[in-house]
Chain A
Amino acid sequence: MRPSPARLLNILVPVKRAVDYSVKIRVNPQQTGIDTNVKHSMNPFDEIAVEEAIRMRERLPPGTVKHIKAISIGPPKALDVLRTALAVGADSAAHVALPENAPAPEPLAIAKTLASYINIQNSDPAKVEKDGKVDVVILGKQAIDDDLGVTGQMLAGLLGWGQATFASKVEVDVGKNEVVVTREIDGGAEEVRCRLPVVITTDLRLNEPRYASLPNIMKAKKKPVEKLSPSDLGIDYTPQLTTLRVTEPPKRVGGGKVGSVEELVERLKDAGITGV
């Protein structure tokens, strides 16, 4: 007789609606940010996170992963991204709705929102009874439109949980109540062992996300999406940082051609480069 798992996993996957990866990003005319009148889609690192959550469900014994919820904080259109997550395999979704033209929320505000959401979930006896406490938060390491890469770490700090960032491999041991994560670092890989609950941020090599098939997209329309407002969670989204100016990097200046090695050495000397 197989002993029942010590703990059933409840996974939360925050996802962001970011500028699509194939769009050429441009600075807006006012030089206050980027032109957002372009195609948006789910942040690719978040796609990897959703995929990892689903693979955890497939790898572990059936029933171990109790619930996978996707959550997004953003304007009404963020719902599209949540529907994609539902189509790929998440069970339910939550949308913290910000007004259409509000400034983009800052990572600290996002982390506070997620922490608040998790604390509310974990302290509600009915929800804990149904799905268990949130054990694993898995999200992308950074968003590709702002490249800030701090939300996961801030969230772990606010919750007081362990964090395993830049994950390229995740192994969950539910019996021992821990995960072993291989992290990508400069110069190689590092293995860390973390007790649950844990915050994991995904790196590119973790997996290759699956396609959302059309039948699943159609089924996803019927899955529940919880709607929340900032006041439900008690978060203030007023930006704490002021962006002074955004400009494109300086255009590359053309190089020059040299005719011989001697000329090259002359030019290098003129530029102040000396031999060692």
Chain B
Amino acid sequence: MLRAKATTTSRALLPARHQLLKRLRTNRTLRTSAVRLNGGGAPFDPKAIERAEDEVDVCIVGGGPAGLSAAIRLKQLEREKGNEIRVVVLEKGSEIGSHVLSGAVIEPRALDELLPEWRSMADHPLTQPATSSKMLFLTKNMSLPIPHPPQMGNKGNYIVSLSQFTRWLAQVAENEYGVEIYPGFAGAQLLLSDTADATDNWGRRVRSVRGVVTNEVGLTKEFRMKGSFEPGMAFRAKVTLLAEGAHGSLAKQAIQHYDLRREAEPQTYAIGLKEVWRVDPSQYKAGTVQHFLGWPLDSQTYGGGWVYHMDDGLVSLGLVVALDYKNPYMSPYRELQKMKHHPFFRALLEGGERVGYGARALTEGGYQSLPKLAFPGGALLGCSAGVVNIAKIKGTHNAMKSGMLAAESAWEAVQKKNAEAAEAEAEEGAEEKPTDMTGYDTAFHNSWVRDDLYEVRNLRPSFGTQLGIWGGIIYSGIDSLLLKGRVPWTFKHHRPANAADAMTDGTSSLDSSLTERAEKHTPIEYPPFEPPLSTDLMTSVALTGTNHAEDQPVHLRVVKTRDFVRATQGLNGDGATVNAAVGAGVGAVRAEAEVGAATEADVEEERRRREEHVRVNVGEYAGLLERACPAGVYEYVDVEGEGSSEGTWNGKKLVINSQNCIHCKLCDIKVPTQDITWTVPEGSGGPKYTVT
């Protein structure tokens, strides 16, 4: 059911002041504002646009394993119980699977529950069973077999490209179950209720989540509307499920708004950089699973490599580096290229051809870092909550199961809502109560997902002591082999030496606060590239197929998430201004100031923020982002002459090449000043992974 603009029912719900503003601005519609084809016309005014709206029962943000499992489960319940339910999945990638990257060896436990008949389904991608599982310790020249935790055993597991797996799951969801999937449309904002109509987990009165608004298209970098401008569409949903993967952008906002991490440990992360190679047939042994510790990482850095021999002569390999690394001179990309120079990898990749490259952040916090999973009107699924089991190095099974559990709660909530609506027909104009998903949180903690994560909860923190990886290996060996997590203690994640530096405010990452100043470290001499074995960064980035339409607002906003949420939800001051351009650069905020959506003080604040960012990052951390980003997005360049208006410090300014972005989220997590907020670009942008 499609409506072109707000109907009388929902107009009545708007508070009087908002309605007045809407009337005042009615002559400022899209058609009357001067819009030119090139160079953009009128600045974007968030309050004057009219959005197309649609109503759905459940809106799922993110077409990955968790989101799709939830969608399928909802439709299964529709079949079982007979009540219709409309399920919409929004995916920012140009097609399902474009933004999915993982090792991956998956445990089919959740798939067996979701689709018990999967083995007989056509084209299922679980064609390569894992036949072995080995762990090796690398030194500069040698590789020594070592024992591995029993959780890493791979009996019954399959090596897949998670991108292909997700694509298959989407095809099942669409064709067999009638789920509506819309790739190329990103969930850009949470649609909040107008009044504080719900009580959150902590007893506060808060606004509830009523759906999702997709991204605007057709804005220039300076936030002006092009001829092709289309406002994002608003999906009003009874239940909103956020399944965006690790460090999701809407999930981050929900966590901040509802303080979901109040009683949990902060989340900790790692970056996974991956390549897919077609190796020489003499090197290929289908089903091989190998994990590596040691070289090239030092004893204070948690991480390791992997090699999985997938189906069809392809080999997946890569390096995971925990993002609590201390040395700002480290470059995860250069570490991966260096790792390939080891004799083991040289032999493996001799005569091979690289067919893929990519990177993505993953969660490592495990059980301790699970936030509250439900908020009024919605819930967090999969790695948006953080469900990777770092001992198994697997999380897909947990993500899928969490999706299924959320679906079951969502089903109940929607049925309840429908029943209430039928009763309350007589009450004209009353806004419906928000849905309550706390049943999902309980179900999650009663399920095997909780047990899966509980067993290994102390392993990762054990690597955070002064003993570095040696302490971790010793403790983890004992815990995983003998105790299996059956101990009365639960370690917290390690904090920086100076406790005051620890960032635990719910949106700033703990990992960033563990970075040490550049003066304590020395630059690392990485070996030169040896193409085709190891190449420079841009050659690799070309393999991701990433691209973003030119001349759109920079989606990497230089602003703290807390401030971003306040500015864009109109929560500053009297709530009248909504500065949609916050963090997008001085030019963009200036455009917003032209339409009264921002003030001159905001423009100055924007410039000051940039300057501060450059001062700390270049002055104290030697420009960490330049080295850390796996796609070469960030550069601190010298400024000629006077200095630009954009905020320079000591002759340097920040340049963001957002077109290269591969949506890995490392910058948001690792930047020491915690002032990069990753937001969604125009839909369909980003990498085009197919075999990762």
CB within 8 Å of B: which residues of A?
20, 22-24, 26, 29, 35, 37-39, 41, 208, 210-211, 213-215, 217-219
Contacts and interface: CB of A to CB of B under 8 A. Distances in A.
A208 B688 contact: no
A29 B95 CA distance: 25
B545 A214 contact: no
A41 B184 CA distance: 12
11 contacts: A24-B545, A35-B355, A37-B691, A39-B95, A211-B218, A213-B217, A213-B233, A214-B233, A215-B4, A215-B54, A218-B180
Given A29-B278, A39-B98, A22 B690 contact: no
B546 interface: yes
Interface string B1-30: 010100000000000000000000000000
B182 A217 contact: yes
A29 B542 contact: no
B230 A213 contact: yes
B185 A214 contact: yes
Interface string B145-182: 00000000000000000000000000000000000101
B94 interface: yes
Given A214-B185, A215-B233, A20 B545 contact: yes
B422 interface: no
A228 B198 CA distance: 54
B503 interface: no
B228 A215 contact: no
Nearest to A211: B217
Given A211-B230, A215-B2, A218-B2, A41 B54 contact: no
A211 B690 contact: no
B2 A26 contact: no
A26 B277 CA distance: 13
Contacts of B2: 215, 218-219
B230 A23 contact: no
A217 to B, nearest CB: 7
Interface in B175-197: 180, 182, 185
Contacts of B54: 215, 218
B231 to A, nearest CB: 9
A26 B278 CA distance: 12
Interface string B536-570: 00000011011100000000000000000000000
Given A22-B547, A208-B228, A215-B2, 19 more contacts: A20-B94, A20-B545, A22-B546, A24-B545, A29-B313, A35-B355, A37-B690, A39-B95, A211-B218, A211-B228, A213-B52, A213-B230, A213-B233, A214-B52, A214-B185, A214-B214, A215-B4, A215-B233, A218-B180
A217 B182 CA distance: 9
Contact of B94 (A29, A37, A41): A41
A22 to B, nearest CB: 4
Contacts of B4: 215
A20 B684 CA distance: 12
A217 B181 CA distance: 11
Given A20-B94, A218-B2, A39 B690 contact: yes
A24 B689 CA distance: 11
A79 to B, nearest CB: 12
Interface centre among A38, A39, A210, A214 (most CB of B within 10 A): A214
B351 to A, nearest CB: 13
A13 B364 CA distance: 51
Nearest to A27: B353
B500 interface: no
Interface of B: 2, 4, 37, 52, 54, 94-95, 98, 180, 182, 185, 214, 217-218, 228, 230, 233, 278, 313, 355, 542-543, 545-547, 688, 690-691
Interface centre among A35, A37, A208, A213 (most CB of B within 10 A): A213
Contacts of B228: 208, 210-211
B649 to A, nearest CB: 35
B688 A20 contact: yes
A37 B4 CA distance: 38
B281 to A, nearest CB: 10
Contacts of B545: 20, 22-24, 38-39
A94 B27 CA distance: 41
Nearest to A221: B180
Contacts of B547: 22
A39 B94 contact: yes
Interface centre among B4, B180, B278, B355 (most CB of A within 10 A): B355
Nearest to B531: A251
Contacts of A35: 355
A168 to B, nearest CB: 16
A218 B691 CA distance: 29
Interface centre among B180, B278, B545 (most CB of A within 10 A): B545
Contacts of B214: 214
B61 to A, nearest CB: 14
Nearest to B354: A26
Contacts of B543: 24
A217 B690 CA distance: 24
Contacts of A38: 545, 688, 690
A219 B691 CA distance: 32
Contacts of B94: 20, 39, 41
Nearest 8 pairs of A and B residues by beta carbon: A22-B547, A215-B52, A39-B688, A214-B233, A213-B230, A23-B545, A211-B217, A22-B545
Interface centre among A20, A23, A37, A39 (most CB of B within 10 A): A39
Nearest to A39: B688
A199 B691 CA distance: 40
Contacts of B180: 218
Nearest to A215: B52
A211 B184 CA distance: 11
A22 B688 contact: yes
A38 B4 CA distance: 36
A23 B688 contact: yes
A218 B90 CA distance: 13
A6 to B, nearest CB: 31
Contacts of A219: 2
Given A22-B546, A22-B547, A213-B52, A208 B217 contact: no
Contacts of A29: 278, 313
A214 B212 CA distance: 13
Interface centre among A22, A24, A26, A29 (most CB of B within 10 A): A22
Nearest to A41: B94
B52 A24 contact: no
Given A39-B688, A214-B52, A208 B230 contact: no
A219 B4 CA distance: 12
A55 to B, nearest CB: 11
Contact of A26 (B217, B313, B355): B355
Contacts of A217: 182
B160 to A, nearest CB: 14
Nearest to B214: A214
A211 B545 CA distance: 20
A35 B314 CA distance: 14
Contacts of B233: 213-215
Contacts of A208: 37, 228
Contacts of B313: 29
A211 to B, nearest CB: 5
Nearest to B278: A29
Nearest to A209: B228
A39 B54 CA distance: 29
Nearest to A22: B547
Given A215-B2, A215-B54, A219-B2, A24 B217 contact: no
Nearest to B180: A218
B454 to A, nearest CB: 39
Contacts of B355: 26, 35
Contacts of A20: 94, 545, 688
A214 B182 contact: yes
A218 B88 CA distance: 11
B688 to A, nearest CB: 4
